[in-house]
């Protein structure tokens, strides 16, 4: 890390030591805390995900902007504060980072901003729920998540349950292909759609082991091919929701969003909250389980990647 970068970035001592020693670290986002779930479930889930990473052999580094500081590795008190503040906390993507830092604000990081800070800190594996993508109707609105462009430029692997099913999944895959981002299915040839295991779209490649995924990552970056990788990990079958139920809830939520004039950054939080209400809370329960599942896989990949990197230096 350059002295210039150190002016803006704080790495928790435990995370810094692990990185210096070549130990596996998994980045976690904070938008899910402030904007993805209600309090206190958001805090409880964030702490459960961190515990899941630890029990799977890696170190968690939840990422946010705290009082104008890019922060990799939050304390329990910081997670609690983000959860209590909820949507009043700024939702921070790439374009927002300079402003939030310059004005000494606190912000919850999206997938894109989390990738940026993780890469600055030297963290290569990131677990989240689902990535953003091309929104339905984007041909008219040009509403495309900054997550996709970040995946094209920032060398961090993102373990997710595919793209959120509220999106246009076909166009999302086309965008990723155009920008050279591999989409790897973990033990599946189909792109999962967040709450469901199968979106009806194929992934680029299927790999069945964390060590196989780690080798792909090591080779991609060693070859000088920048950018990230989407590791699509289906929600466990026991917690998946019927596709017809989710599709019906999404269609109603999209109609409600249009009627209320919801757009921009507010779209995804509104749709997820509305879908949760329409499914009687079942989608929130599924959301929690898929995040935990992604944390387990991300930890296994981080452990395998750390092992490969240590062996490559011997």
Q: Which of 306, 160, 152 is nearest to 227 (CA)?
A: 152
Active-site choice (29, 52, 273, 289): 29
Which of these, 288, 277, 282, lies nearest to 43 by C-alpha position?
Answer: 288
251 carries an active-site annotation:
no
DSSP string, 284-304: HHHHHHHHHHHHHHHHHHHHH
Q: Read out DSSP for 127-161?
A: E-S-B--BBTTHHHH--B-HHHHHHHHS--EEEES
Is 29 annotated as catalytic?
Answer: yes
From CA 123, how far away is CA 136, in angstroms rounded?
32
| Residue 160 φ/ψ, nearest 5 degrees | -150, 170
- Determine which one of 50, 52, 91, 164 is catalytic: 164
The DSSP H or E segment spanning 7 is none
What is the DSSP annotation of 195-234? TBS--S-B-SEEE--HHHHHHHHHHHHHTT--S-EEEE-P
- Residues in contact with 255: Cβ distance below 8 Å, sequence separation at least 6, in sequence order: none
Residue 30: is it exposed, middle or buried by C-beta count within 10 angstroms (0-12/13-18/19+)? Answer: buried
Q: How far is CA 71 from CA 11, 75, 120, 187, 266, in A?
A: 6, 10, 10, 33, 24
Neighbours of 110 (CB within 10 A): 28
Rounded CA-CA distance 80/33 in Å is 9
Q: Catalytic residues, which ones? A: 29, 164
């Amino acid at each position: 890390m350059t002295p210039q970068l150190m002016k803006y970035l704080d790495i928790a001592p435990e995370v810094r030591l692990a990185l210096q020693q070549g130990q596996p670290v998994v980045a976690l986002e904070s938008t899910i805390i402030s904007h993805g779930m209600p309090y206190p479930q958001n805090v409880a889930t964030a702490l459960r995900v961190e515990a899941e990473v630890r029990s799977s052999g890696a170190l968690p580094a939840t990422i946010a902007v705290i009082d104008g500081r890019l922060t990799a590795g939050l304390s329990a008190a910081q997670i609690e504060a983000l959860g209590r503040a909820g949507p009043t906390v700024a939702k921070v993507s790439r374009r927002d980072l300079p402003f939030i830092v310059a004005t000494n604000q606190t912000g919850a990081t999206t997938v894109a901003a989390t990738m940026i800070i993780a890469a600055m800190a030297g963290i290569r594996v990131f677990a989240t729920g689902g990535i953003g993508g091309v929104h339905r109707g984007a041909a008219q609105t040009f509403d495309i998540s900054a997550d996709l462009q970040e995946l094209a430029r920032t060398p961090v692997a993102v373990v997710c349950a595919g793209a959120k099913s509220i999106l246009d999944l076909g166009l999302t895959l086309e965008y990723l292909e155009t920008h050279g981002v591999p989409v790897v299915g973990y033990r599946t040839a189909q792109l999962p759609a967040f709450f469901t295991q199968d979106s009806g779209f194929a992934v680029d490649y299927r790999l069945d082991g964390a060590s196989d995924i780690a080798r792909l990552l090591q080779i991609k970056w060693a070859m000088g091919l920048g950018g990230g990788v989407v590791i699509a990990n289906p929600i466990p079958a026991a917690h998946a929701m019927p596709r017809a139920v989710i599709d019906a809830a999404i269609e109603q939520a999209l109609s409600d969003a249009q009627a209320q004039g919801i757009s921009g950054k507010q779209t995804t939080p509104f749709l997820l909250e509305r879908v949760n209400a329409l499914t009687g809370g079942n989608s929130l329960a599924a959301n929690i389980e898929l995040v935990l599942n992604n944390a387990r896989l991300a930890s296994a990949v981080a452990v395998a990647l750390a092992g490969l990197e240590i062996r490559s230096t011997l």
